[in-house]
A and B are shown apart, each in its own frame.
Chain A
Amino acid sequence: MPQVRINGEVVVNFDGSSPNLLQFLEQQQQTVNYQCREGFCGACRCKLLSGQVSYLQEPLAFVRRGEFLPCCSIPKTDIELEIPK
């Protein structure tokens, strides 16, 4: 079960009860900006500080190195992420 560290503080296990990382973050009461929830608008962009995610569907939105879209991904390894303020 991969561990998710959020904003350098909270560490939670990704137990598979959420279909993707965006829903997972919302369940942890984190505020993440979002729009399409399908990977084409890019509004939910977060920083991936360490670890890897795998995409459920390839995002259409532009994703820079070091960033990822939580709406269409799940953690592949333990990850550390930062939600932009």
Chain B
Amino acid sequence: MNAERHTANAQDSGSNSQDATAHARTSRALDAAERLNPTLNAFLQIDRTGALLQAEEYDRRRSNKQGDELIPLGGTPVAIKDNICVRGLQASCGSHILENYQPPYDATAIERLRRAGGIIIGKTNCDEFAMGSSNENSAFGAVRNPWNTKLVPGGSSGGSAAAVAARITPVALGSETGGSVRQPAALCGIVGLKPTYGRISRYGLVAFGSSLDQIGIFSLNVQDVAKVLGVIAGRDERDATSADVAVPDYAGNLTNEIKGARIGVPRALFGEGLDEEVREKVESAIDVYRDLGAEVVDVDLPHSRYAIAVYYIIATAEASSNLARYDGVRYGVRAEEAATLDRMYRRTREHGFGAEVKRRIMLGTYVLSSGYYEAYYRKAQQVRQLLREDFRRAFEKCDAILTPTTPTTAFPLGAKTDDPLAMYLNDIYTCTANLVGIPGISVPCGLSSENLPIGMQLVGKHWSEKTLLQLAHAYTEAQPFTALPPATALAT
């Protein structure tokens, strides 16, 4: 399998290495996490005791051959973004306001991972409440990119991406509102999937933008992403937005046979702002698809240049509403020395939230406020409709649309922190999929001259994950990405 090739030097070789015990694999992952964390800051909590207990329990169940349900993930160590609830572990969401919070329940995705033999080794660092594209908005310090520790790993799921890229765990969960899985996957040289809106239950995922949020999956290879998706996807009655759509066997029959597939390329998005090296590598990826027998067609997404504007109205409006719950009453940190309830709310939120979260709450409050709602929020929802229409038309001509995942490779820490708008433009290729609700996957497609990974993205129709995974798999088989980030040398 692919992972063997990808991880020749690595701690763990993917979810199929069932020869080693879960205990041995988990120990290795924990060792690597502890050894690398001072350098990468990828984990906010490493749960050695709990993880080893889970692993022992798994090994016991396996040796007793209790049921087939254990098999899919076979004792695979998994890292979980800190905005997904795992019972008994912290869920700070990268924020001071929740730094002492321990959810009393497992998210549905976590429940399903455990049942399938996934071993949770810890919680990963992220931008505060998943708001950011560089991981620099974490209240607990930025994550470093395993390819170059002076650079950002991307965000907001930067810790999960770094953990997989540094070969600490073969799989990690993140979350997406506007590209927070695909963008760090691209900047860290791994595979990252954002499924269709409604594909994975969000019960236990801390809400940011409720019409956009979706749990996503990181791995070194497409096969493992498919396997994890098959485990965690599907209807959950605790999340009314989780759809009752059949979950196909995503990991089965992933072949190289994609002859006749139609790949749409929106040429207009390959111009201004796109780094030349990124453009070249993505063009080469298009050639690979041609060589594999796919038909490459031009598509037009005329409203996608407005996507960032639409996104930052809708996402901040929803965030300002969702984050109203952090008031120092039911959970989290409360500011002391406030004599009245009103003062207590304000002080708690003033001390608990970081600069970017406040900025977005303020912007969201503005676009929803009386007199501006029609001009901003309603307008954005209308343009969102036009975007959906763009994609519907494009998918009449093709099975998937191929673009770069990000306009550039990883950038230096601090490079964009003073300019929120420049930071937001990182999401230019990714946030449309969230607005429209369709799935997208980022796959590594080469290295820049500075030895930094470049990612290409495929997006497809609603519920077309099987097709996307097939297309991504065929590409990675034809064009394996085998380079290892320098940080992996520290792991052993």
Q: Do A and B bind each other?
A: no
Give chain A's interface residues, CB within 8 Å of chain B.
none
